[in-house]
Amino acid sequence: MKKQKMFLRMISASLIRRRSRMLVALLAIAVGATILSGLVTIYYDVPRQMGEQFRNYGANMIFTPSEADALTRKDIEAGLSHIPADQVVGCAPYRYEGVTIVERPYMAAGTDLSEVQKTSPYWNVDGEWPSASGEILVGKNVASTFAVKPGDTMTLSYALQNPDGTAATADEARDIPTNDVKFNVTGILDTGGNEEDYVFISVEDMTSLTGNDGGFDVAELSVSASSEELQRYVDNINDEKTAVSSRLVKRVTQSENTVLSKLQALVFLVTAIVLLLTMICVATTMMAVVTERRKEVGLRKALGASDGSIIMEFMGEGLLLGGVGGLLGSFLGFAFAQAVSVNVFNSSITFHFLLVPLTILVSILVTGISCILPVRSAIDIDPALVLKGE
Amino acid sequence: MFFRMLRGALFRQKSKMIMIAITIALGASLATAMLNIMFDVGDKMNQELKTYGANITVVPKASSVLNGLYEMDEEDSSAYLKEEELGKIKTIFWAFNIVDFSPFVNTTATLNSKPVKTVGTWYNHHLALPTGEELDAGVTSLRSWWDIKDGKWIDEQNTDSDKVAMVGTVLAEREGVKAGDSITLSTSHGTETLTVSGIFDAGGDEDEQIYTTLAVAQRLSSKAGQLDSIEVSALTTPDNELAVKAAKEGPASLTPKEYETWYCTAYVSSICYQIQEVITDSVAAPVRQVADSEGNIMEKTELLMILITILSLLGSALGISNLVTASVMERSNEIGLMKAVGARDRQVTGLVLTEILITAIIGGAAGYLMGYGFAQIIGHTVFNSSIEMKPMVIPIVAVLIVIVTLIGSIPAIRMMQRLRPAEVLHGR
């Protein structure tokens, strides 16, 4: 009992009376712990955050009708039910119909344009995205053919007796009764791809233009998940043999896999090296602080303290310093990781509670080991020599 | 006397000075490695993002207005690019940034009396450029996501005959074609019998097409020396305001100074513009799906690395200054003695600072070399190529180390000046 009291008294006395030195040690440990918890948090969060960035490449999964000619909204929802809702970034169904514009055949797509903005973030619209009924988004090539600008109007003609969806040629269109609908051009679409040859209208406008609700030809999905998960969803959907058959857009999924794994490896190695160096840095600082107290070790030995009790005391100090520093560091590190996440990815991260004990444990270990080495060497020397000053 | 004391401190307190030097070396190596990686990560990620394929497509001027659905009527389209001009792509200002490109000729041929879209292109076409550079260009790398299910890629360099083809997996299944088989394609311009080199799974429309060599497709469509399009994969810089302005309003809207900056930066729009300059009657446009996403991801990666670098720089700075503080404090006895025998504050400060700076320079130099090693380890493990060591990192690290060491000495120096010799020598 008495011994324990003395032990605590010596630790607290050495921490309080040697305030400035202990502050130095504590700062070193806290910095190390901050870097540890900050980097580990970032390392765990980067794949998820970067994965979201990769959704910029657009749809990575598509639904097509498996047997019927078209997909209904219900079919698409049935397919979607196999994918966790929080992973679905967007799902844009498309219905393609041949229309004529000033007697030339074109392809018109009826789609949910607010979903398209999510599945194809790279679409560059000069003007505004259509938001109301009777508005149309015109591909760049179509727009330059007819020299239309946002604000102009454009008339789409749909040949009513051509219900199979094939494009009516200009000659046929003349003899067949057509349904003409005038649209306001709100924006010109620039993608550098095939989309520039199409015009895009809302699903409702497509229904009123064609006079029927023909269902969708294809649905594009952007799903934020790893390639294994994606493959599993696809297999699940196809195994169930519903009206939907699904497949991955290989170009997007495969490439994402390659690039993301490189990125992850990069962050991992950087984290490992930074941590290694930081820990050595913390250790040298601790060693410097402890080495300074060789005289104290010598004095105590001369007064009859056992080696074990001296080591115990230094370890107790290290434990306390490591614990406090680690605790400080784990919160500072989270603050740093949060700042990185907000600045780079505009989103916040979750706090990993498991990291707190881990950070504290590592801090205590590093502090303990770096305390022990100089103390042991001081103990091994004859106290007389140490007290004399070498 | 000053130098004698300096030497004495450096040599007699060897172990202590080595400890400081090691810590500074660690900090410096961290800074060196992180800064070098940060400066190079853009280039490296850019290379990796090339797996998404071409980011620029070049089409003939007339057809860029009216392709799309008219693609079916290829026989009528008179607009084409000239094959002999292909090499010029590697002569533009940013030639070094063009990592890959491939020409395409599209036609519709008949296989087993059914129409099949047939594409002629390069696979691993060997180019020896006038600059002495050598390049294997073609779709083998531009379509890196293709899965070869049966057989192998067409190897242009090791086959004598150009009569080879690759068949999309859907088409191959429908027609019962396997690698090694012979298929006969015919058009109104002729008939070709081709050996199937491989069956590919592209996960897209290509799965119902036949890919063959450029020469075969040109013969089948009687387009000798003509091309329908070129896909170019180029390393680009993410767009900024200037690039957006140039792309929107045309290079003519820029002031001469802006134009020069724009032309001499590897924006996707300026590379497109330069390609248009060398290929007659062509329109080069960025493939937004690839070009925009690339810019976005690069930006995020660079920002991420910058922030991690800042964290590790801060960490190493604090670590170094901490140790410097600790080591000076420890010498209060010695400093007290010096003051007692009449040394002035300035002299003591000068001595301690010189000691530490010498140690810092030695440690910093060692640290730079270590950092070089770490950067190369990361470069080779992650990207299979070495990280380019930017000379500008050396002064940054040097200045950083000196500043950090000096700042680390400030609390120690203040303590030294407040030190009362009698108290210290007395033992508290």
Spell out the residues 6+ positions from residue A149 whose beta carbon is closer than 8 angstroms to its own.
A127, A143, A185, A188
Using a CB–CB cutoff of 8 Å, tell me whether A193 touches chain B.
yes
Q: Does residue A253 belong to any structural domain of this protein?
A: no
In this predicted structure, what is the pLDDT of residue B366?
92
Check B289 against A120: CB less than 8 A apart: yes
User: Residues of A with CB below 8 A from B145's CB?
Assistant: 250-251, 254-255
Same domain, A242 and A94: yes
Q: Does residue B86 belong to any structural domain of this protein?
A: yes
Same domain, B29 and B97: no
> Model pTM?
0.76
Label residues B200-216 b or e (16+ Cβ within 10 Å = b): bbbbbebbbbbbbbbeb
CA dist B121 → A200, B138, B287, B328, B373 (Å): 32, 7, 19, 71, 42
CA dist A93 → A75, A114, A228 (Å): 11, 11, 24
Interface predicted TM-score (ipTM) of this complex, two decimals = 0.75
User: B191: closest CA among B165, B160, B212, B221?
Assistant: B221
For B29-52, what is the mean pLDDT?
Answer: 85
Residue stretches of chain A with pLDDT short of 70: 1-2, 14-18, 161-176, 386-390
CB-neighbour burial class of residue A295 (10 A; exposed 0-12, middle 13-18, buried 19+): middle
Q: Does residue B342 belong to any structural domain of this protein?
A: yes
SS3 A138: strand
Q: Does residue A140 belong to any structural domain of this protein?
A: yes
Query: What is the residue type of A167?
Result: A
**Domain's final residue, options A207, A228, A248:** A248
- The residues pairing with B150 across neighbouring beta strands, listed in sequence order, are B199
Q: Does residue A232 belong to any structural domain of this protein?
A: yes
Same domain, B224 and B259: yes
For B58-70, what is the mean pLDDT?
Answer: 61
pLDDT digit string, tens, across residues B398-413: 888 888 888 877 877 7
Same domain, B301 and B412: yes
Does position B211 have pLDDT exceeding 90, yes or no? yes
Gap between the Cα atoms of B377 and B385, Å rounded: 10
Same domain, B334 and B220: no
For B:68-97, CB contacts with A below 8 A are: 68-69
Q: Does residue A183 belong to any structural domain of this protein?
A: yes
Backbone angles phi, psi at B420, to 5 degrees: -100, 120
For B:223-282, CB contacts with A below 8 A are: 248
DSSP code of residue B72? G
Same domain, B228 and B312: no
Going by DSSP bridges, is the β-strand pair A88-101/A124-127 parallel, antiparallel, or unpaired? unpaired
Query: What is the residue type of A11?
Result: I
How many folded domains does chain B comprise? 2
Using a CB–CB cutoff of 8 Å, tell me whether B141 touches chain A.
no
Q: Does residue B352 belong to any structural domain of this protein?
A: yes
The confidence band for B15, taking pLDDT boundaries of 50, 70 and 90, is: confident
Domain residues for the domain of A16 are 2-53+258-388
Same domain, B104 and B187: yes
pLDDT digit string, tens, across residues B76-122: 456 788 888 888 888 888 888 888 899 999 898 888 888 899 999 99
- Among the partner-chain residues B30, B68, B202, the one whose CB lies closest to the CB of A197 is B68
Work out the mean pLDDT of chain B and round it to a whole number: 83
Gap between the Cα atoms of A219 and A246, Å rounded: 9
How many folded domains does chain A comprise? 2
- C-alpha gyration radius of chain A: 34
Q: Does residue B291 belong to any structural domain of this protein?
A: no
Same domain, B138 and B77: yes
The confidence band for B382, taking pLDDT boundaries of 50, 70 and 90, is: confident
Same domain, A69 and A162: yes
Same domain, B79 and B197: yes
In this predicted structure, what is the pLDDT of residue A172?
53
Count of pairs with CB atoms under 8 A, one residue in A, one in B:
227
Same domain, A134 and A240: yes
For B277-290, what is the mean pLDDT?
Answer: 86
Same domain, B235 and B105: yes
Going by DSSP bridges, is the β-strand pair B164-168/B190-201 parallel, antiparallel, or unpaired? parallel
Same domain, A146 and A288: no
Helix, strand, coil content of chain B in percent (nearest 5): 60, 20, 25
Does position B60 have pLDDT exceeding 60, yes or no? yes
Same domain, A77 and A215: yes
Q: Does residue B170 belong to any structural domain of this protein?
A: yes
The confidence band for B166, taking pLDDT boundaries of 50, 70 and 90, is: very high
By C-alpha distance, the chain A residue nearest B323 is: A285
Same domain, A361 and A310: yes
pLDDT digit string, tens, across residues B310-345: 888 887 777 777 777 777 766 777 777 888 888 788
Going by DSSP bridges, is the β-strand pair A153-159/A218-223 parallel, antiparallel, or unpaired? unpaired
Backbone angles phi, psi at B280, to 5 degrees: -65, 140
Same domain, B110 and B253: yes
Say what angle helices B288-329 and B14-49 make with each other, to 10 degrees.
180
Domain residues for the domain of B251 are 55-286
pLDDT digit string, tens, across residues A20-77: 777 777 888 888 888 888 888 888 887 778 877 888 888 888 888 887 778 888 888 8
